[in-house]
Amino acid sequence: MAGNSYGQLFRITTFGESHGGGVGVVVDGCPANLEISENDIQKELNRRKPGQSGITTSRKESDTIHILSGVFEGKTTGTPISLLVYNEDFHSSDYDNLKDVYRPGHADYTYDVKYGMRDFRGGGRASARETLARVAAGAIAKKYLKEKYGMEFLSYVEKVGDIDSSVDLNTITSEQIEANIVRCPDKNAAEKMIALIESVRNDGDSIGGVIRGVIRNVPAGLGEPVFDKIPADLAKAMMSINAAKGFEIGSGFAGTRLHGSEHNDEFYIATDGKIRTKTNNAGGTLGGITTGENIYFRVAFKPVSTIMKKQRSVNKDKKAVEFTAKGRHDPCVLPRVVPIVDAMSAITILDHILRNKAYLK
Amino acid sequence: MAGNSYGQLFRITTFGESHGGGVGVVVDGCPANLEISENDIQKELNRRKPGQSGITTSRKESDTIHILSGVFEGKTTGTPISLLVYNEDFHSSDYDNLKDVYRPGHADYTYDVKYGMRDFRGGGRASARETLARVAAGAIAKKYLKEKYGMEFLSYVEKVGDIDSSVDLNTITSEQIEANIVRCPDKNAAEKMIALIESVRNDGDSIGGVIRGVIRNVPAGLGEPVFDKIPADLAKAMMSINAAKGFEIGSGFAGTRLHGSEHNDEFYIATDGKIRTKTNNAGGTLGGITTGENIYFRVAFKPVSTIMKKQRSVNKDKKAVEFTAKGRHDPCVLPRVVPIVDAMSAITILDHILRNKAYLK
Amino acid sequence: MAGNSYGQLFRITTFGESHGGGVGVVVDGCPANLEISENDIQKELNRRKPGQSGITTSRKESDTIHILSGVFEGKTTGTPISLLVYNEDFHSSDYDNLKDVYRPGHADYTYDVKYGMRDFRGGGRASARETLARVAAGAIAKKYLKEKYGMEFLSYVEKVGDIDSSVDLNTITSEQIEANIVRCPDKNAAEKMIALIESVRNDGDSIGGVIRGVIRNVPAGLGEPVFDKIPADLAKAMMSINAAKGFEIGSGFAGTRLHGSEHNDEFYIATDGKIRTKTNNAGGTLGGITTGENIYFRVAFKPVSTIMKKQRSVNKDKKAVEFTAKGRHDPCVLPRVVPIVDAMSAITILDHILRNKAYLK
Amino acid sequence: MAGNSYGQLFRITTFGESHGGGVGVVVDGCPANLEISENDIQKELNRRKPGQSGITTSRKESDTIHILSGVFEGKTTGTPISLLVYNEDFHSSDYDNLKDVYRPGHADYTYDVKYGMRDFRGGGRASARETLARVAAGAIAKKYLKEKYGMEFLSYVEKVGDIDSSVDLNTITSEQIEANIVRCPDKNAAEKMIALIESVRNDGDSIGGVIRGVIRNVPAGLGEPVFDKIPADLAKAMMSINAAKGFEIGSGFAGTRLHGSEHNDEFYIATDGKIRTKTNNAGGTLGGITTGENIYFRVAFKPVSTIMKKQRSVNKDKKAVEFTAKGRHDPCVLPRVVPIVDAMSAITILDHILRNKAYLK
């Protein structure tokens, strides 16, 4: 109810702030007997961690994961898995000059209104550091879905600012995505994106972009009709990520310009006898339920709010102020958001796998 | 869990199919002492009902609402409000020729995969008729929010196909929206939209479009951080509506091309002493919590799947088929979706009002 | 959140008051393809309905069930099943003299405090009439569990006042329970109970008693550890029934006087190779999870609060009053509670069947 | 869904096993601005911890609490509070001889059936060690309710085996409860209880008992009608505690023998103008909603399953075995359960305080 849990049957509850003891997650509802190690989780966390490349923040944190419960002799037991990363590298003093300022684009003002106070260090609970807990939980979901269903989660950076990419969603691999620091499998576009991010950073500014989400080998029949449609739950999952401003699935906004006769995906019988669709404007679901075609979607992320330029705002005492942020920040959050999108996708799909299974014969 | 409920503290559970006894909703968690009548609800239902104008389906259904419980001497009692519309105008025979066909763009195939059977009459539970239950419940939420907070819900049709409109979100009124049958307050655009819809219908085809959602006079501090952010919950609410393919809030996808220095909304102290922002790229929330600025968002709807043209598909027995839909259908669903978007907005916001209130001092 | 729903995956939401349009329930999460008819449900409702015998209220209501949705061609579709009984036999005037009185033992005062108003007719939402919705939903759960698992729900009246019964839980049948109007399979005890109830009624008074709950053929492994233990969920289910004051499972309160060496149920290998326990002090669960042994428990019900004697109380205006109830009331609620206990048992167990299934390999 | 969370608006999620990294809890939904320190929590944990007196297990664990998040400058921030106790004093080898044995009265067999495996060390997740997480969370709830409402939670040991006590519920204090190691404020009874527990331990056996729960200064109007009645939610809370076998509120099972004219609590106007009842057979609620009178209830706990006597059972391979438990165990769990009952009471009541507040004007 207070918004720190996600999922119904595979349910995660995250906790922790940017500064303080640590950031973690309790995963409740992971089926028993899945082999899982800290290393399986660490690999995904490393894709998200700060300081991983020249185009992210230069802040260095090891983000080392600890499994505190729920795993016995290398396997999940069916009981809650708690995962914890201790905080380190405190530069609380970076925030001292800002503790009373309502930074534009940040949650400072809204948290103060809501709670009558806030932990101002590093954004407190509103910090993107919270998302490491999602990536940790998502690593478990990804592993389960890979092993039991051969599912793959292949998000990548599709756009940075105006720079677009061209990628074949049917053949893309995770190696291609990880082949460069911006996580765009179109090599030419990736180079331009990196150059743009570097230029933006040199200006002390930031830039937004679009992540393409791709989920492959999804069983048909997942999703609940009416409110808990797969597109609805994916939309919620994605829009809950810091800085997300838009979500579309399949043909999305562009599809609104089509006629029904163009948009409808024709069914046919594939050579393996399966029912397939010739096109996939739907993006992998009909009536909110998966068709078995790949799910693909796009998520818009605004430019990072923290910039190194002087800005005007107001403070807690309702005085006008001018300020310049200190510290080390990402000029573009997109490359580090890729594993978060994958994690939220995997958590959402695994939750629906379990829900669907409950009602099967 | 089976997906037919929405909301936490103001919680609706809808039931009913296109054909059968009726369609209804149980509203659990409406505060006591709100004056409400069947007429208050009927007004909203009339905005959604079929046959209301020359550009919707010509199917005529009165969609008369009945309050079965939860209201005593004209006021809500705090107990569940059940609302029911009996089904009428059965043309089940319209569907006889299609009962084994998996219509492209429809949920026929996915329901069969999921449940091993389906009520094929009029789409059964996947029918847009389900949304009348949402509009009925939303009418209660809208009335509550209007009376207690002066809130207004002012969705309208922003685009049909390629025809865009130009509207001042700050001055728009519900009268302007209701002034024409397409529910676009830009009169010139409305005329073109109507002409386009008529032309599409004459072709036996359909067309999509975009709804703009506007919520005015929202208190600051609503929304829960992390997962249950207002943008996340609105996204889910909107993407759960039949035919929705995309959602964006504030600057949305377009905002991804901006720099942080352009996108950040500068805070200032208004003449009434309130903290305001000069621009509203955020769309009314920061860190997922309302700022007090208007909430605005856009929702993409694909073209209606049922068209009057011959289509190819497969049937239950995995045979290729050709078919042409019968019956009376909307060539463009947008004008009738406006009240659904308002309803889902109001339900979402009232739910968060109650959630926020629970934690206040 | 407002307390009108029960269950997670098999979830019921009840609505309706003693007077008004009707009383009903939405059942969300019933698996598809279960054959169900209004007759299946009516049979259970008839066990609960008023006027069924000489020891219940003489109020006559047919309590005719209507299936409004979720069933197609005689089978459940997996979508919400809505069930409705219209209200009839209104004697609202019976309550006119009491509308401002806070009747002792009733919810009049607490509803007024909570909601600032109440529907005073027949107890409104606090009326035991609400439980017909549970019985209707429970009839579906019972049928499912009988067909898929051979489970039996065999609650009966164990005590009325001081009159106790002696019954063999392992051989009891539903025919024995239904063989007399008090629903106690011990014939001698039943006669004494009937005589006691008649005598109490002649005094214008009421009397309490104890229901024994019995569930047979329960699969092992149901229930979730920690909070959602089967005993915890059954306790909640039973204590949510009007007039319930106590719950115990297995050895219950009496077992607290035993030593561990007496109480522990010894495991052995049965002739069919199954792991069984020689005794069943546990009542069918260990660590909150079913062992496969029968579940048995007891529920205490206080004497009905409405009596035909003059009572002292206060009214809404905080004045002392004397009053005598009018109308037709049960002198002992136990015989009509039996199907409610069965219904709540079946709903609880089916919910856990689905939950357990979700996590299985 | 997997049973490790409790509460709706004040929601706790516990994690951790007897052995492994630690045991902890995430508290989601604590209002902001409550002063809380590790010391506040430690005080309650010390009432539960092993080795605290001569009649508990001699196992020594410091059970030191760590606040990892959700508290800033000594105050709650409204974000999730995570509390962790690291495990220590591992005697895993105590369990080696039992790892394949299904101990009578324990969850060994049912966990194996449910999950296909189990962490056999110290009972794993089924260990009573899990309850320290509840006590930690409950300490926060207790402090909030004490400060804002003056509420007091005064559970005590009412019976051990056949030894009953006599206590005035209206004047009892926490000092009286803590005045002896068995936590029974009736000094004479306490001495006999201690002697009984010592005698039972010397026999290598165990004994059960009854806890009396008392909640004072409860506001009227708490609880939701129908399913989430206060008695129903307290019953669930209590029956979820390890070894609980029964729950009754107010007159409970004894009240079933009364007539309505004896049982009904007469309303009157107290000298302070408040509406009160002369008796309190109801135990503080009517129609499931609090009256403002004290809540009192009783919880039955079976004798501890682990005894030092030789027992017969079966093992994983379905072979008959004889075994004797090793290690240090409580001969009677009651004295250490008192703070758990208080914790679950406080969590339940605070949850309902928040729920009630959500719907108020």
Which residues 142-181 on chain B approach chain D with CB closer than 8 angstroms? none
Residues in A closer than 8 angstroms to D22, CB to CB, are 68-69
Residues in A closer than 8 angstroms to B200, CB to CB, are 259
Residues in B closer than 8 angstroms to C88, CB to CB, are none
Residue of A nearest to D5 (CA): A28
Find the CB nearest C11 among B1, B16, B82. Answer: B1
Encode D120-135: b = buried (16+ Cβ within 10 Å), e = exposed: bbbbbbbbbbbbbbbb
- Is the pLDDT reported for residue D231 higher than 70? yes
AA letter at D301: F
At residue D98 the predicted structure's pLDDT band, cuts being 50, 70 and 90, is: confident
* Contact call for residues C261 and C171 (beta carbons, < 8 A): no
What CATH number is attached to the domain comprising D341? 3.60.150.10
Mean pLDDT of A166-171: 95
Mutate to test the interface with B, among A5, A234, A267, A318 (most CBs of B within 10 A): A267
Put simply, whether C247 touches D (Cβ < 8 Å) is yes
Distance (Å) from the alpha carbon of A114 to chain C's nearest alpha carbon: 22
Put simply, whether A8 touches D (Cβ < 8 Å) is yes
* Contact call for residues B252 and A245 (beta carbons, < 8 A): yes
A225:B309 CB<8 A:
no
Residues in D closer than 8 angstroms to A17, CB to CB, are 69-70, 72, 77, 79
Distance (Å) from the alpha carbon of B14 to chain C's nearest alpha carbon: 8
AA letter at C8: Q
pLDDT score at B190:
98
**Tens of pLDDT, residues D17-28:** 999 999 999 999
Residue of B nearest to A302 (CA): B256
At residue A89 the predicted structure's pLDDT band, cuts being 50, 70 and 90, is: low
**Tens of pLDDT, residues C1-54:** 899 999 999 999 999 999 999 999 999 999 999 999 999 999 999 999 998 998
Lowest model confidence (mean pLDDT) among A233-242, B325-334, C191-200: B325-334
- Is the pLDDT reported for residue C205 higher than 80? yes
**Residue D165, burial from CB neighbour count under 10 angstroms (0-12, 13-18, 19+):** buried
- Is the pLDDT reported for residue B84 higher than 70? yes
pLDDT score at D61:
83
Q: What is the CA radius of gyration of chain C?
A: 21
Beta strands in B111-154 (DSSP E): 152-153
Identify the three-state secondary structure at position A334: helix
Distance CA D196, CA D193 (A): 5
User: Residues 6 or more apart from D351 whose CB is under 8 A from it?
Assistant: D7, D8, D9, D10, D11, D233
At residue D59 the predicted structure's pLDDT band, cuts being 50, 70 and 90, is: confident
- Is the pLDDT reported for residue D279 higher than 80? yes
Mean per-residue pLDDT over chain D, rounded: 95
- Is the pLDDT reported for residue C90 higher than 90? no
pLDDT score at C340:
98
Q: State the maximum Cα–Cα separation within chain D, in Å, rounded to a whole number.
A: 70
User: Residues 6 or more apart from C70 whose CB is under 8 A from it?
Assistant: B15, B17, C27, C30, C76, C77, C79, C80, C81, C82
pLDDT score at A144:
98
- Is the pLDDT reported for residue D114 higher than 80? yes
A267:B240 CB<8 A:
no
The number of beta carbons lying within 10 Å of the beta carbon of residue C116 is 16
At residue A92 the predicted structure's pLDDT band, cuts being 50, 70 and 90, is: low
Identify the three-state secondary structure at position B96: helix
Distance (Å) from the alpha carbon of A346 to chain D's nearest alpha carbon: 18
Put simply, whether D127 touches A (Cβ < 8 Å) is no
AA letter at A61: E
pLDDT score at A300:
98
**Tens of pLDDT, residues B89-106:** 666 666 677 889 999 999
Put simply, whether C357 touches A (Cβ < 8 Å) is yes
Angle formed at CA C331 by CA C326 and CA C333, multiple of 5 degrees: 120
Find the CB nearest D117 among A16, A66, A77. Answer: A77
Residue of A nearest to B7 (CA): A227
Supply the range of the domain harboring residue C353: 5-357
Distance (Å) from the alpha carbon of B175 to chain A's nearest alpha carbon: 26
- Is the pLDDT reported for residue B168 higher than 90? yes
Put simply, whether A29 touches C (Cβ < 8 Å) is yes
Lowest model confidence (mean pLDDT) among B90-94, C166-170, C239-243: B90-94
Mutate to test the interface with A, among B98, B110, B249 (most CBs of A within 10 A): B110
- Strand partners of residue D111: none
The total of structural domains in chain A comes to 1
Mutate to test the interface with D, among A5, A11, A12, A13 (most CBs of D within 10 A): A13
Q: Where are the alpha helices (DSSP H) in chain C?
A: 38-48, 108-115, 131-149, 174-178, 187-202, 230-239, 260-263, 334-359
**Tens of pLDDT, residues A341-352:** 999 999 999 999
Distance (Å) from the alpha carbon of C4 to chain D's nearest alpha carbon: 6
**Contacts A–D by Cβ distance under 8 A:** 160
Nearest partner of A111 among D2, D234, D77, judged by Cα = D77
Look up tokens 């009596």; give the residue.
C307
**Tens of pLDDT, residues D191-201:** 999 999 999 99
D31:B354 CB<8 A:
no
Find the CB nearest C303 among D126, D260, D301. Answer: D260
Mean pLDDT of C57-62: 84
pLDDT score at B57:
87
**Tens of pLDDT, residues A206-224:** 999 999 999 999 999 999 9
Mutate to test the interface with C, among D110, D117, D163 (most CBs of C within 10 A): D110
D9:B359 CB<8 A:
yes
C282:D14 CB<8 A:
no
Which residues 291-350 on chain D approach chain C with CB closer than 8 angstroms? 291-292, 298, 300-307, 309, 311-314, 318-320
Distance (Å) from the alpha carbon of B27 to chain C's nearest alpha carbon: 9
Distances (CA, A) of C337 to A222, A270, C54, C138, C255: 39, 57, 16, 13, 26
Per the rule left: phi > 0, alpha: psi between -120 and 50, beta: everything else, B124 is left
Residues in D closer than 8 angstroms to B360, CB to CB, are 31, 357
Residue of B nearest to D351 (CA): B358
ipTM above 0.90, yes or no: yes
